[in-house]
Amino acid sequence: MNYPNGKKKPTVRKTSDKTNKSFSNRGMTLEDDINTTNNYYLAINKAVIHKKPTPIQIVNVHYPKRSAAVITEGYFKQASTTDYNGLYRHKHIDFEAKETKNKTLFPLANIHDHQIKHMELIIENGGICFLIIRFAAYDETYFIQAEKLISYWKEKLNGGRKSIPYEIIKQEGYLIPFQYQARVDYLAIIDKLYF
């Protein structure tokens, strides 16, 4: 079979899956799955949660064609806080999402000091704050309360571990099962923990 542009379709090898793992959302990134989930929440009027845009200052633009512009130079205006925020059941929701290929741990270097400070402020002001981590190797996504993340962060600053072991995340976090419409149904965990 050929594509409309005349190129041949690449052949796909069939392999047997002896590990019996679910690869239903393979190829989707965590961000795509969360965006799809948030769109579903909005469509059924369950919550209003959006990805925050990263503030960028555009410095230089190249116009190779009249109809196309290419940004060739830009800078972050300020350090961003967390990836997502919004409202659910009259509560402010704020969270960061991270995906790792590491099989044994989540490196705390993936979180920044200004993000921890932001999370602390959200909690102090009555909001619900958390981290969603996907271990790509296992196709597992976990919900970690910000309070737990902050305690590991403080241990790191005092000379402790520079990561959170996968086994601890499995014990202290909450596994978010993959679903069709709400792919990363983190609100189900918020309902259990906060309401």
The C-alpha angle with vertex 41 and arms to 35 and 45, in degrees rounded to 5, equals 145
Domain total for the chain? 1
Task: Judge whether 2 lies within some domain.
Answer: no
Place of tokens 């520079």: 162
CATH of the domain at 180: 3.40.1350.10
Task: Judge whether 188 lies within some domain.
Answer: yes
Task: Judge whether 17 lies within some domain.
Answer: no
Q: What is the pLDDT of residues 169-186, one digit of tens each?
A: 999 999 999 998 999 999
pTM of the model: 0.77
Place of tokens 């009555």: 126
The whole-angstrom separation of Cα 176 and Cα 10 is 34
Q: Are 34 and 84 in contact (CB under 8 A)?
A: yes
Question: Taking the chain, what is the end-to-end CA distance rounded to the nearest angstrom?
Answer: 53
Q: Are 92 and 46 in contact (CB under 8 A)?
A: no
Task: Judge whether 170 lies within some domain.
Answer: yes
List the domain range (segments joined by +) for residue 128: 30-194
The whole-angstrom separation of Cα 112 and Cα 140 is 23
Task: Judge whether 178 lies within some domain.
Answer: yes
Q: What is the pLDDT of residues 44-84, one digit of tens each?
A: 999 999 998 776 777 788 888 777 888 777 766 656 789 99
Q: Which residue positions form the known binding site for Mg(2+)?
A: 81, 83, 96, 115
